[in-house]
Amino acid sequence: MSKRVVITGAGVVHSLGTELEEFWENIKAGKSGISKIENFDAADFPSQIGAELKDFDPGDYIERKEAKRLALYSQYAIVSAMKALENAGLEITDEIADRTGVIVGSGIGGIEVFEEQVERLHSRGPRRVSPFFIPMMISNMAAGNVAIYSGAKGPNMNTVTACASATTAIGEAFETIKRGAADIMIAGGTEASITPSAVAGFGNMKALSTRNDEPEKASRPFDKDRDGFVIGEGAGIMILETLESAKKRGANIIAEVVGYGASGDAYHITSPAPEGEGAVRAMKAAVERAGMKPEEINYINAHGTSTPLNDQYESTAIKKLFGDHAYKLKVSSTKSMTGHLLGAAGGVEAIISAMAVKENVVPPTMNFEEGGEGCDLDYQPNKAGEAEINAALSNSFGFGGQNACIVIKKYK
């Protein structure tokens, strides 16, 4: 008999809150976590705004000396993972360590370490480069460090599928449990890319919003006046486990993961495939893996980046898969509040989707005034709503045409 996979804990590190309850309350209230960038002087950059963590302190979980040897994205992952374990009421003992794994996605890894050390190489010479440079920077170290801090000794890996990284991680963790390779998985994504090189690179691609005078209104998914995404940072980590394991320890079950689908556009390095063709296949695969019909999905947490092509093509993809039901669905992009966390986006959005399912709350799409071309669905504009949400679909699409979607269902 196929194993059921449930969500028993969640941890978030974000400018909207580093406690799950605070973060979720701010999402329901439509609060923005976006402001002027302060961690470096962005005055000469086309985009000067982001959902930036300004007062992050890992001190409750990581010793100050040790933190200096960890890239920021690893720190975010460790803290969110430890918070998720606390939320799940789970201690990883020797008895369960071998059956507890970790999959944490990150699109870029320790980019601030890369910038700092390359600058040191050029200004001070090769002998002044830190011996910790490589193990701080490489993108698998978030998963490695989460295992070190939690004691999880099962399957351990890193997914890198650009902005789909965290959703890929959760989907692969779901499949790892389904095939019997683990009983518990710590899964999600982390990113710390609000750095000069990243903001300059995305900015010069014309991918970022330049609405610098109105940071809170800059991310406006599906709106006709959208002009690019707003970069964010942080982490979102879930605890997934077999229903048997959760029941055995009397865990509080938030929701159930029932489907995962992935696809490749095979089209372009940055632009989505025409008409969202790749997104259609990923969504369809997730719904089919869940053993559901499209009309059984009640809510979609859209990728919804606030970029012209993504929002139009994602809307088209939803209409292609769901037909007439597309107009009955509740859809929202919470990136309007969180910004776009790149490789961590899907982790945070999966948590939002799970809470939406649990509480029958439809999170808002803020700053939506008038739909852009092809954007004519019910995007839950500007205020949270209430609706019976039995099943939600969380979408993530990344550069390189890498798409991942998961279906989260009410636990019954």
Q: What number of other Cβ atoms are within 10 A of residue 107's Cβ?
A: 27
CATH number of 107's domain: 3.40.47.10
Same domain, 326 and 358: yes
Same domain, 230 and 269: no
For residue 347, tell me if it sits in a domain. yes
* DSSP code per residue over 143-170: HHHHHHHH---S-EE---BTBTHHHHHH
Catalytic residue list contains 268: no
DSSP tag of 252: P
d(Cα 395, Cα 402) in Å, to the nearest integer?
11
Same domain, 212 and 270: no
- Catalytically annotated residue among 14, 122, 340, 405: 340
Same domain, 233 and 113: yes
Q: Which residue range(s) make up the domain with 31?
A: 5-248
Number of domains in the chain: 2
Comparing C-alpha atoms, which of 88, 5, 8, 16 is closest to residue 348? 16
Comparing C-alpha atoms, which of 391, 196, 173 is closest to residue 301? 391
Does this model's pTM top 0.85? My answer is yes
Domain end among 248, 279, 303: 248
For residue 242, tell me if it sits in a domain. yes
Same domain, 31 and 59: yes
For residue 241, tell me if it sits in a domain. yes
d(Cα 259, Cα 171) in Å, to the nearest integer?
8
d(Cα 100, Cα 95) in Å, to the nearest integer?
10
pLDDT in tens, 167-180: 999 999 999 999 99
pLDDT in tens, 109-168: 999 999 999 999 999 999 999 999 999 999 999 999 999 999 999 999 999 999 999 999
b/e string for 114-142 if b means 16 or more Cβ within 10 A? bbbbeeeeeeeeeeeeeeebebbbbbbbb
For residue 399, tell me if it sits in a domain. yes
Query: In which residue are the tokens 């948590």 written?
Result: 351
Catalytic residue list contains 122: no
For residue 294, tell me if it sits in a domain. yes
Domain end among 199, 217, 248: 248
For residue 253, tell me if it sits in a domain. no
With a cut of 50, list the residues of the chain below it in pLDDT.
none
Beta bridge partners, 49, equal 36
- Catalytically annotated residue among 14, 303, 375, 405: 303
Same domain, 216 and 242: yes
DSSP tag of 397: E
For residue 306, tell me if it sits in a domain. yes
d(Cα 3, Cα 183) in Å, to the nearest integer?
9
Same domain, 19 and 138: yes
Same domain, 229 and 307: no
Domain end among 195, 221, 248: 248
pLDDT for 55 equals 87
Comparing C-alpha atoms, which of 355, 161, 329 is closest to residue 261? 161
d(Cα 102, Cα 354) in Å, to the nearest integer?
19
Same domain, 220 and 353: no
Same domain, 244 and 358: no
pLDDT for 255 equals 98
Same domain, 116 and 263: no
Catalytic residue list contains 405: no
pLDDT for 1 equals 57
Q: What number of other Cβ atoms are within 10 A of residue 101's Cβ?
A: 26
Same domain, 200 and 275: no
- Catalytically annotated residue among 163, 268, 325, 375: 163
pLDDT in tens, 245-282: 999 999 999 999 999 999 999 999 999 999 899 999 99
For residue 35, tell me if it sits in a domain. yes
